[in-house]
A and B are shown apart, each in its own frame.
Chain A
Amino acid sequence: MVEQTRAHYQAELEQLEASALGGLDLVSEQLGRTIEAVEQQDVELAQQVIVDDDRIDGRYLEVHQSLIALLATQSPVATDLRLISALLHVLKNVERMGDQCVNVCKLIPLTGNEPPADAEMLSRVVTMGKQARTLISQAKRAFEERDVAMAQDLVRQDDVVDNLNRECFHLALEIGDDADKREWAMTMLLGARAIERIGDNAVDIGEQVAFVVTGLFREFEDASHPDG
């Protein structure tokens, strides 16, 4: 006697979730090219990343508008309402992560064609980028599978990014007296900071996974009150 109803609405919601989470694939691709541009000092590739950010912004606008329309026309409640609320957050995170890739790429021309790169620091920035990509794909999977444990594990993965960022800071402090090298190190620190924020955005997505599943919102880690 139980009859499934509102099939079109359900299909639309599923499609919008896929589109919003697909934004994470776009970001991962952008971050991959950003890392390559940093590693190779590839100004053209960096420019391409900056231009392609419009794709992410377009995805944001399109899915955001559709979710608002769904809220207005379908009066979603319960899990559907939490899902839509979470997707609006995820979209914002996707858009911010895209902007962080742009921020890194805008730094690349500033360091010149043959920058006085410090191999140790460069390797850490590259590793940070790769780790941040791992976080992005894990956040996406956790959301798709509604896996709270996997979402919470993002905190541990993000610690790796945070530690590398701190190491970059110390390496920059000790980089020596050469003015060009110091300038390069300062520029790289800004890039490392942008990648570190991408990691934080991935953790935010994990928190939304927990909200969708449990109905309770909790920050996995409270940066402003680390001692509870």
Chain B
Amino acid sequence: MTREERRAESGRQTREAAAERAAIAVRPEEFQQGGAGSREKVFELKGVGVDYSGATAVKDITMDVRRNDVTALIGPSGCGKSTLLRCLNRMNDLIPGASVHGELLYHGEDLYGSAVDPVQVRKLIGMVFQKPNPFPKSIFDNVAFGPRILGRKENLDEAVEGALRGAALWDEVKDRLEDNAFGLSGGQQQRLCIARCIAVQPDTILMDEPCSALDPISTGKIEDLMIELKEEFSIVIVTHNMQQAARVSDRTAFLMVELDADEDNRWGRLVEYDETEKIFTNPSDRRTEDYVSGKVG
């Protein structure tokens, strides 16, 4: 091959490589920002606020929660994370003097519409609390409780096994289903509560600091479980553990406390809501950066 031929061949290869690159190119900005996507929305909040007996607890929250995502709510104590979470299944209805305003849509329907039954809402949108709260019953009866209330009498064994498997607890309890639930460890009790929650086949699970009373091993199991559960359910979690939010969630909302001019009144306000990777690598708001870095308390 002459020198000219080698040059021509090299040029051809370069052009081919460039064409190949263009065909498979991933634009760095898309890669680095995680790709927003436009999945179905489970919740749409528009200017949502909550008052307790006239005192504002959270104000003007506008955000969407996507289907099959784990959405984390983070922020300092008193910023209204749990209040906001409780709005999502009308748990605030149970608190005297609480009122929710703004627009809160669930699958496009007004969650606070006059025709909506809060009990039905809480069946579809289950909740797991900070401390495991099993009933003083057997493991089986704990999980069967919801389906029985809903009138299910047949195939209860199947439903209980399915829920316990879903909560990654079946293998640990299958030989002692009639034992009292209080005999389980803290982590197992919390997974039992998750099993009880999913036994009524909700479409969304709300979790209010579900691992704060658990050791790191049990926490790891619950976190693994969340990642498995999101295949089937949408999950919204309140957590004080930054790393937990970073590990398990797809999107993260950061709320912080805002004060009025006299510093007499305080309420929670949404500062930033974005892909979790963005929040923990390159947040847009300085206040988010300071909070997730632990620079302010």
Q: Which residues of A contact B (CB under 8 A)?
A: 1-6, 9-10, 75-82, 214-218, 225, 227
Q: Are A6 and B292 in contact (CB under 8 A)?
A: no
- A-B pairs with beta carbons under 8 Å apart, 13 shown: A1-B259, A1-B263, A3-B296, A75-B243, A77-B246, A77-B293, A78-B288, A79-B293, A80-B293, A82-B281, A215-B281, A215-B282, A217-B28
Q: Are B21 and A78 in contact (CB under 8 A)?
A: no
CB of A208, distance to nearest CB on chain B (Å): 14
Q: Are A5 and B297 in contact (CB under 8 A)?
A: yes
Residues of A within 8 A of B281 (CB): 77-78, 81-82, 215
CB of B14, distance to nearest CB on chain A (Å): 9
B182 interfacial by beta-carbon distance below 8 Å: no
The contact of A6 among B21, B29, B257, B295, by CB within 8 Å, is B295
Q: Are B296 and A5 in contact (CB under 8 A)?
A: yes
Q: Are B297 and A78 in contact (CB under 8 A)?
A: no
Known: A217-B28, A227-B18. A79 touches B294 (CB 8 A): no
Identify which of A77, A79, A215, A216 gathers the most chain B CB atoms within 10 Å of its CB: A77
The contact of A76 among B28, B29, B283, B293, by CB within 8 Å, is B293
Q: Are B243 and A78 in contact (CB under 8 A)?
A: no
Q: Are A6 and B294 in contact (CB under 8 A)?
A: yes
Closest 8 CB pairs of A and B: A215-B282, A77-B280, A5-B297, A78-B289, A6-B294, A2-B296, A77-B292, A3-B297
Interface string of B109-151 (1 = CB under 8 A from A): 0000000000000000000000000000000000000000000
Q: Are B282 and A82 in contact (CB under 8 A)?
A: yes
Q: What is the bound-complex CA distance between A213 and B187, given in angstroms?
A: 42
- Chain B residue with the shortest CB-CB distance to A85: B281
Q: What is the bound-complex CA distance between A1 and B263, given in angstroms?
A: 10
Residues of A within 8 A of B294 (CB): 5-6, 9
Given contacts A79-B282, A81-B281, A216-B28, 14 further A-B contacts (CB under 8 A): A1-B257, A5-B295, A5-B297, A6-B293, A6-B294, A10-B295, A77-B242, A77-B246, A77-B292, A78-B282, A216-B29, A218-B28, A225-B18, A225-B21
Looking at chain B's contact residues, the main secondary structure is: helix
Q: What is the bound-complex CA distance between A218 and B294, given in angstroms?
A: 28
Q: Are A78 and B296 in contact (CB under 8 A)?
A: no
Q: Are B242 and A79 in contact (CB under 8 A)?
A: no
Number of B residues with CB within 8 Å of any CB on chain A: 23
Which residues from 225 to 282 on chain B have a C-beta closer than 8 Å to any C-beta of chain A?
242-243, 246, 257, 259, 263, 280-282
Q: Are B292 and A78 in contact (CB under 8 A)?
A: yes
Residues of B within 8 A of A10 (CB): 295
CB of B120, distance to nearest CB on chain A (Å): 40
Residues of B within 8 A of A81 (CB): 280-281
- Chain A residue with the shortest CB-CB distance to B14: A227
Residues of A within 8 A of B288 (CB): 78
CB of B110, distance to nearest CB on chain A (Å): 36
Q: What is the bound-complex CA distance between A123 and B170, given in angstroms?
A: 78
Q: What is the bound-complex CA distance between A25 and B275, given in angstroms?
A: 39
B53 interfacial by beta-carbon distance below 8 Å: no
B32 interfacial by beta-carbon distance below 8 Å: yes
Q: Are B28 and A75 in contact (CB under 8 A)?
A: no
- Chain A residue with the shortest CB-CB distance to B15: A227
Residues of B within 8 A of A9 (CB): 294
Q: Are A4 and B296 in contact (CB under 8 A)?
A: yes
Residues of B within 8 A of A6 (CB): 293-295
Q: What is the bound-complex CA distance between A154 and B69, given in angstroms?
A: 43
Residues of B within 8 A of A76 (CB): 293
Which residues from 186 to 222 on chain B have a C-beta closer than 8 Å to any C-beta of chain A?
none
Residues of B within 8 A of A215 (CB): 32, 281-282
